Amino acid sequence: MKHTAVLQACFAEHNVTLNLAGAHCRLRTNSLAVVESLAAFAAPEPQGPELLLDVYATQAADVREPAHFRGMGPFVIAEYGANVFLFDVARRKVHAWITEAAARDREFWAEQWLPVIVGVAGIAAGVLPLHSACVVKNGRGVLIAGESMAGKSTFSVAMAKQGFELLSDDWTYIHRGINALFARGFHLPVKLLPDAAAFFPELHELRPAPTLNGEIAYTATAGRLGVECTAHCKIVAMLFLQRSTAGWPTFTIAEPEFARAYVENSVERLPPELHELQRERTRLIDGICQLPSWHYQYCGVPSEGAASAASFLNSIGGLL
């Protein structure tokens, strides 16, 4: 045992409200640097359920290590070296002990910690994280789902070059509104596998690099890719993407049971202690299953696949 360090909660000098991809949070912290790092997410007083996010900046040395996650009962722990997050999901609370250097690291907050916070505890604020891309036209969004390596990111960028706006290429955050579901994203850079450079010349000036999950990929902003992006939309449809090696693009109706299986199998199970949140999650999944949904199978280059999909979606009266 090297040493024992006791890090207690400090008096919270700063108290602000945030909107994290639709999840309303009340941030309490002893660090002005944290408030400044999260300034872009400041929001008015929330009307609905909210998460309490207590962040204590400590004097510990800033050691960054790969994230280690564990969960038991209503708790989840995420450790990033010296930075520790304890999620008390049942009480709608997140406790974080972070270094001063981490408190100031806006990129790390935006690209890693905030998606993790909403990913783990978002449902406590009525937000369901869904592993899908989302493209938007006229404020109406289409979720693009598919197995890993189905090409969701490449396809969603190609759709954005067909007159859609890009909301997300990977994780989309769903919440309920009046008689509709709504989606939000974190405006993160798009991750594109190396073969995407064949389709998007904008990538030629970049170099692929290892991402958090170990994949080698290009990381490009919407601006770099020359596409428009948006932060939120009403969700109106869902596509289940599948690449094929030959044949014409085909659309077949996806049954609600398929959509339910896809969504339920792509999210972490919740323990019995979180039954109320499970009910909220089920209501959101029920809403997703009621969306018009299609399996979309195509081969060839993404631009052609996206053009066919855009033409199909535009042809459905009243959808977009």
Partner 1 sequence: MNLVRTGPPDLLRRFVPTPYKLIHGTTTFETNDLELLDAIDCQAIPEEARHFAIRIVRDTCADALHERRVFESDRLCLISIGSYTLFIVDSEEQRVFAFLASDFPAARICEELRSALDARR
Binding residues (CB under 8 A) for partner 1: these are 1-9, 54, 56, 65, 68-73, 75-77, 79, 84, 86, 88, 93, 95, 97, 147, 240, 242, 254, 258, 261-262, 264-269, 271, 295, 297
Minimum CB distance to partner 1 smaller for 204 or for 269: 269
Minimum CB distance to partner 1 smaller for 68 or for 275: 68
Minimum CB distance to partner 1 smaller for 56 or for 200: 56
Minimum CB distance to partner 1 smaller for 34 or for 166: 34
Contact between 141 and 135 under an 8 Å Cβ cutoff? The reply is: yes
Residues in the chain: 320
Minimum CB distance to partner 1 smaller for 54 or for 105: 54
The DSSP secondary structure of 229-274, one letter per residue, reads B-SEEEEEEEEEEEE-SSS--EEEEPPHHHHHHHHHHHS----GGG
Min separation Cβ 226 and partner 1, Å:
31
Taking Cα atoms as reference points, which of 57, 43, 129, 117 lies closest to residue 86?
117
Q: The tokens 């916070």 sit on which residue? A: 117
Taking Cα atoms as reference points, which of 160, 24, 148 lies closest to residue 92?
24
Minimum CB distance to partner 1 smaller for 89 or for 227: 89
Q: How many whole angstroms separate alpha carbon 208 and alpha carbon 285? A: 35
Min separation Cβ 70 and partner 1, Å:
5
DSSP 94: E
Across 34-66, b (16+ Cβ under 10 Å) vs e yields: bbebbeebeeeebeeebbbbbbbbbebebeeee
User: Which residues have CB under 8 Å from 75's CB, separation 6+?
Assistant: 86, 87, 88, 89
Taking Cα atoms as reference points, which of 129, 128, 133 lies closest to residue 296?
133
Minimum CB distance to partner 1 smaller for 109 or for 262: 262
CA–CA–CA angle 3, 7, 12 (5° rounding): 165
